[in-house]
Amino acid sequence: MRHWVVIGTVVAIFALAGAGSVVGQAANPIKIGFGMALTGGLSANGKPALLAMQIWKDNVNKKGGLLGRPVELIFYDDQTNPATVPGIYSKLLDVDKADLVVSGYGTNLIAPLMPMAMERKLTVIGIFGLANNEKYKYPNYFQISPTGPDPATSTATGFFELAAKQTPRPQTVALVGADAEYPQTAMVGARELVKRLGFKTVYDKTYPPSTVDYTPIVRAIKATNPDIVFIASYPPDSVGMLRASHEVGLQPKIMGGGMVGLQFTTVMTSMGPMLNGIVNYDYWVPEPTMMFPGIQDFFKEYQPRAAKEGVDTLGYYLPPYAYAAMQVLGQAVEATKGLDQQKIADYIRATEFSTIVGKIKFGKNGEWAKGRTLMVQYQKVQGNDVEQFRGPGKKPVLYPDELTSGKIVYPYAAALK
């Protein structure tokens, strides 16, 4: 396994207080293993996810660890390559003797873990996988992003329901996405929403993930003159599609939906005003309606460390959920007083957890029992200064109603002014 890179493990020395003395304890650590995208296309999100998990580990160990034992994280770079995943988890379980595992980041990297999880009866918390368990229905899989019980439609539901409420009501739809696991699933959901809400599809195509020039794709979409453009894309193609849209002058009435990457600090600052008007899914934004207990304390720890380590400076997208995933696992270990995979799974399935992203209760398929995928719109973005994104106002929440913090600017062209 020469390509594996051990990034690091940390064993905390924790203290037992007694009669004013501190006693060093050589307890065996609880080993939690995972692969993570530290290089490759998803590394911009994998690195901040890892930092969040390390912050959780540090915080837990400062308080004495889990079950009175320190926590050790063992992780390997999956290179954003699904082919590495089976080997990484075999090593974690058979060589490193990991007590527990969590997934790496992303649908494509979770998919190859599922067969092994089922075969070995592992309890697995997935980190931002879309509909990975729809085929398997494995009862001991839990997924931390708030996509809800119908993950395939999670990014499309809010987008198309918002579109349907606008005046004049848009009529025609272009669907476009990468020919990869997540975009394909998201487009299945989008087609369902298009049919349910009575829109007319005028364009429905995928492109190879290796695509570099998106201009021909955008020109073909523009030629169909759609009112709505739903895009399901990974970070490199999200940027490519947006740049090409501005170059070609594509201006439907509403555009966005399932574009991964626009939430990243580096992408927001590099794209700047080109983001204005895009209506896109998100999971956490610094709006007053999203201030759950503990979330601000998390960012006080995360952002200085992120700046030093050169990862996503703001960390609003994945890091709080990666931290929350570890909170769920840690709370389950403490509550079951052990490391029994089945007992931990049973507890997670039956319990509502308090986390920095709010209350989490998992449903039958391991997804959140109630979805909470946000639709936000980039508004009044000026220049490329990161500071403008730290506070509210640049990405007001448009959906769901209970978390709304602003109003949509419609049509898309109005938001570009």
Q: Could you report the per-residue pLDDT of 17-64, keeping only the tens digit for each?
A: 333 333 334 589 999 999 999 999 889 889 999 999 999 999 999 999
Res 180: pLDDT: 87
Res 116: pLDDT: 97
Res 22: pLDDT: 35
Query: 376-398: per-residue pLDDT in tens?
Result: 999 999 999 999 999 999 999 99
Q: Give percent above pLDDT 70 in the chain.
A: 94
* CB under 8 A, 24+ apart: contacts of 410-415: 410/166, 410/253, 410/254, 411/166, 411/251, 411/252, 411/253, 411/254, 412/251, 412/252, 412/253, 412/254, 412/255, 412/277, 412/278, 413/251, 413/277, 414/277, 415/276, 415/277, 415/377, 415/378, 415/379
What number is the average pLDDT over the span 154-164? 95
Res 24: pLDDT: 39
- d(CA 274, CA 282) in angstroms, rounded, equals 17
What number is the average pLDDT over the span 348-372? 96
Asked if the model's pLDDT at residue 12 lies above 60, the reply is: no
Two tokens, residue 263: 């939430």
Rg (CA), the chain: 22
What number is the average pLDDT over the span 338-349? 98
Res 130: pLDDT: 85
Asked if the model's pLDDT at residue 217 lies above 70, the reply is: yes
Query: 289-324: per-residue pLDDT in tens?
Result: 999 999 999 999 999 999 999 999 999 999 999 999
Asked if the model's pLDDT at residue 2 lies above 80, the reply is: no
Two tokens, residue 163: 């579109």
Spacing of C-alpha 186 from chain mean position: 14
358-361 and 352-355 strand pairing: antiparallel
What number is the average pLDDT over the span 251-256? 98
- d(CA 374, CA 150) in angstroms, rounded, equals 15
Query: 112-124: per-residue pLDDT in tens?
Result: 999 999 999 999 9
Residue 206: pLDDT band with limits 50, 70, 90: very high
Res 364: pLDDT: 82
**Residue 317 · residue 264 · CB < 8 Å:** yes
**Best CA proximity match to 395, nearest among 275, 233, 292:** 275
Two tokens, residue 6: 């051990």
Res 26: pLDDT: 57
Q: Give percent above pLDDT 90 in the chain.
A: 86
Average model confidence (pLDDT) across the chain: 92
The values of phi and psi at residue 269, to 5°, are: -75, -30
Two tokens, residue 54: 């390390």
**Residue 176 · residue 206 · CB < 8 Å:** yes
Asked if the model's pLDDT at residue 16 lies above 70, the reply is: no
Contacts of 415 (CB under 8 A, 6+ apart): 276, 277, 377, 378, 379, 409
